[in-house]
Chain A
């Protein structure tokens, strides 16, 4: 094994390979940073080019683009609260708030360190334990998947926002939106209101961009006019009230080793969560980042600061979504099961090069596979170096007046939404979600729940219906299968611990 690893790594260090991986990271970051344009789209576009390249170089370039794209998505989430990719939605929660406090460079760099850590842990797990994890993942049937999704939803409901009722409503709204379109088992259209455009499903990009980015622009508009009204009332000069667009001193906006060390536990935990969820086909980075975020909030002493620019929140989301970027190749390479769209594209590229993913892959093409792994590590490191220095540019972008940025973001939201699906109807959907997000924010219903409910909804429904078919409607299977039972017991413990904490707080208040 170690000879194959050494051989694979030595094949990577050629000027051409390094140059193409660099190009992949740069173009992926650029595409990912534009809301709606994903690295998956970039991979699909350059896939034919890789046919003419050596398999290691070509596939490493695709993976470099994917990794760059994942981080690019986080850049726009942090800078404009407009997640470039759905996976960056959780990053926006604390990343944007921390940037708003005047720390754009620190935020980008902390996200970068988290992303690289998650990525490297995912890569190492992929290199050394891919086979082991893949066989564990094979134990996950519909019952376990349904229980895992229920556990994730319970975490989100108990931990995000301040009111459990509002969290529950928000998740239920997301789950309901996920039922629009074709039924996952019978393909019968639901809630399509006679519109062909709704007979498929609601576009995730339209939902994420509308709910998070467009609603945030409307909120910024609101803030702008509130400031303006106050200025008119009290005759305060513009400079005095527009402090929000100012950054802190350049030296304070630097990431220190001490700050990284403070979040080391979250880095470790979130890397593991991301790697494990990534190894399960179909769950993906969005689930991983939200589960990790909720778990970090429950563990943190500063849990109340989550959503208000808490570093641990940013680290948890970013580390987990990047760890998925590597570990979702585990089911692909070990079992031949692509975990998501990007993995499916890489699957296609491997097949075209005559490499058949599956249990025999490492035995038959060991050096090539390890060469690709080396390319992944190189891509992660390039991503770190490039974005570390470009974060200085984002410090400058952060001081642009919100009034100038608002129209730019609104136009980019439309371009990105349309570019993703080429459907004009999605632009209208995005706008509707923008209004919905704005109104929900006004009445303090958290938007995170809607996004995560929407993402997990299809998986939950599909798994539950499969369980019912397989068990003939008997729900006891959820409690007789050990993995499923474990998830449900943990979910119950989370609920009980929350109510215990709330009761304790109430008692303390009464005594005080």
Chain B
């Protein structure tokens, strides 16, 4: 199997043009009350549509499109790390910021290949410092969830 996947530059401009079209035809009419509030969003969305369409057409006919190359394996690993971060962000509300921060630091450092010594030290030191600075000194409170 090929280790890389490629994306054509024309596809990127095509996607942006679609987004522009979506804004002009669907999102702005649905999400903004008619009248003046629509003026600038329409101007910006039309700009996005015109620029991306122009580039799409000119690259398509010139056949000079560039390719963006991505390593599948690297993307898989980065995807896993982003997934851990996503879980951390969404669970902060349920479990609490400090507990989740400790778990997140442990999980990410281990996935990134760090040893237990640095993992445990950081997972305690960082949330503790944040607690002292934010909660004790600046009186800014974090979501506590069902745990601390």
Q: Find out whether the CB atom of B138 lies under 8 angstroms from the CB atom of A45.
A: yes
Contact B37 A173 (CB under 8 A): no
Taking CB atoms, residues of chain B closer than 8 Å to A165 are 13, 51-52, 54-55
- Cα(A412)–Cα(B127), bound, Å: 9
User: SS class of chain B's interface: helix, strand, loop or mixed?
Assistant: helix
Type the 1/0 row for B100-134, where 1 means its CB is closer than 8 Å to any CB of A: 01001100110011100010001000110010011
Q: Are B108 and A406 in contact, with the CB atoms below 8 A?
A: yes
Known: A424-B143, A464-B40. A443 touches B7 (CB 8 A): yes
Bound state CA distance, A169 and B13, in angstroms? 10
Q: Is B74 in contact with A222, judged by CB distance below 8 angstroms?
A: yes
Query: Whole-angstrom distance between the alpha carbons of A427 and B86 in the complex?
Result: 10
B77 in the interface (beta carbon within 8 A): yes
- Nearest A residue to B58 by beta-carbon distance? A165
Given known A-B contacts A176-B44, A222-B74, A411-B101, A406 and B112 have beta carbons under 8 A apart: yes
**Nearest-CB distance from B9 to chain A (Å)?**
8
A225 proximity list for chain B (CB < 8 A): 73-74, 77-78
| Interface stretch of the complex, out of A178-186, A274-282, A357-365, A386-394 | A178-186
Inter-chain contact A414/B92, CB cutoff 8 Å = yes
Chain A residues lying within 8 Å of B108, measured Cβ to Cβ, are 406-407, 410
Note all chain B residues with C-beta closer than 8 A to A229: 71, 73-74
Residue of B nearest to A174 (CB): B44
- Nearest A residue to B20 by beta-carbon distance? A172
Out of A172, A221, A411, A442, which one reaches B47, CB within 8 Å? A172
Say whether A465 faces chain B, with CB atoms less than 8 Å apart. Answer: yes
A184 to B13, CA, bound (A): 31
B147 located at the interface, meaning its Cβ lies under 8 Å from any Cβ of chain A in the complex: no
**Residue on A nearest B85 in the bound complex, by CB:** A410
Verify A407–B109 contact, CB threshold 8 A. Answer: yes
User: Which B78-101 residues have C-beta < 8 A from chain A?
Assistant: 78, 81-82, 85-86, 88-90, 92-93, 97, 101
Size range of the chain B interface in the assembly: 35 or more
With A41-B138, A185-B36, A190-B31: A403-B73 Cβ-Cβ less than 8 Å: no
Chain B 38-56 against A: per-residue CB contact (8 Å), 1 yes, 0 no? Answer: 0111001101100110110
Residues of A within 8 A of B127 (CB): 411
Does the CB pair A411–B41 fall under 8 Å?
A: no
Once the chains are docked, how many angstroms separate the CA of A403 from the CA of B109?
7
B39 touches A465 (CB 8 A): yes
Query: Which residue of B44, B78, B130 contacts A222 across the interface (Cβ within 8 Å)?
Result: B78
Q: List B contacts of A193 (CB < 8 A).
A: 31
Give Cα A41–Cα B141 distance, bound, in whole angstroms: 14
In this complex, what residue of B is CB-closest to A177?
A: B44
Among A37, A226, A403, contact of B71 (Cβ-Cβ < 8 Å): A226
Complex alpha-carbon distance, A410 and B73, angstroms: 23
The smallest beta-carbon distance between A419 and chain B, in angstroms, is: 5
CB-nearest residue of chain A relative to B81?
A221
Supposing A169-B16, A411-B127, A427-B92 touch, asked if A188 and B33 sit within 8 A by C-beta, the answer is yes
Whether A424 contacts B92 in the complex (CB less than 8 A), given A190-B37, A407-B105, A443-B7, comes out as yes
For A228, what are the chain B residues with a Cβ–Cβ distance below 8 Å?
113
Q: Is B61 an interface residue (CB 8 A)?
A: no
Give the residue name and chain of the B residue nearest to A187 (CB).
Answer: B37
- Whether, in the assembled complex, B148 has its beta carbon less than 8 Å from a beta carbon of chain A, the answer is no
Q: By the criterion CB–CB under 8 Å, are B78 and A461 in contact? A: no
Q: How far is the CB of B44 from chain A (nearest CB, A)?
A: 5
User: What 10 new A-B contacts, CB under 8 Å, besides A183-B36, A191-B32, A424-B92?
Assistant: A165-B52, A165-B54, A188-B33, A192-B31, A221-B77, A229-B71, A410-B85, A419-B138, A428-B90, A443-B68
Interface residues of B (CB under 8 A from A): 7, 9, 12-13, 16, 23, 27, 31-33, 35-37, 39-41, 44-45, 47-48, 51-52, 54-55, 68, 70-71, 73-74, 77-78, 81-82, 85-86, 88-90, 92-93, 97, 101, 104-105, 108-109, 112-114, 118, 122, 126-127, 130, 133-134, 138, 140-143
The contact sample of 27 A-B pairs, CB cut-off 8 A, is A37-B138, A165-B55, A169-B48, A169-B51, A175-B40, A185-B36, A185-B37, A190-B32, A191-B32, A218-B81, A222-B74, A224-B112, A225-B74, A226-B74, A229-B71, A403-B112, A407-B109, A407-B112, A410-B104, A410-B108, A411-B126, A411-B130, A415-B130, A415-B134, A418-B140, A424-B93, A424-B143
9 smallest beta-carbon distances between A and B, as pairs: A183-B37, A403-B112, A407-B108, A225-B74, A225-B77, A190-B32, A461-B40, A172-B48, A175-B44
